[in-house]
Amino acid sequence: MKFIKVIIKFVLRILKIKNKILKPTTVGVRIILIKNNKVLLVRHTYDNYWYLPGGGVKKKESFERAICRELKEELGTEIYDMKLFGVYNNFYENKNDNIIMFESKKFKIHDKSSIEIEEYKFCKIDDTLKGLSPGTRRRLKEYLEGNDPYHGMW
Angstrom distance (rounded) from CA 41 to CA 141: 14
CA dihedral 48, 50, 54, 58 (to 10 degrees): -20
Strands 38-44, 25-35: parallel, antiparallel or unpaired by DSSP?
antiparallel
At 33 the pLDDT is 98
Hey, where are the domains in the chain? 2-146
Domain over 2-146 is classified CATH 3.90.79.10: yes
Q: Which three-class secondary structure state does DSSP give residue 14?
A: helix
Tell me: the pLDDT tens digits for 68-87? 999 999 999 999 999 999 99
Angstrom distance (rounded) from CA 49 to CA 65: 26
Angstrom distance (rounded) from CA 136 to CA 119: 16
> What is the residue-level pLDDT of the chain in tens, covering all 154 positions?
677 777 877 877 887 787 677 777 899 999 999 999 999 999 998 889 999 999 999 999 999 999 999 999 999 999 999 999 999 998 877 778 999 999 999 999 987 788 889 999 999 987 778 899 999 999 999 999 997 788 998 8
Q: Are 67 and 81 in contact (CB under 8 A)?
A: no
Angstrom distance (rounded) from CA 122 to CA 93: 29
Q: What is the pTM of this model?
A: 0.84
At 1 the pLDDT is 63
Q: Which amino acid is at 40?
A: L
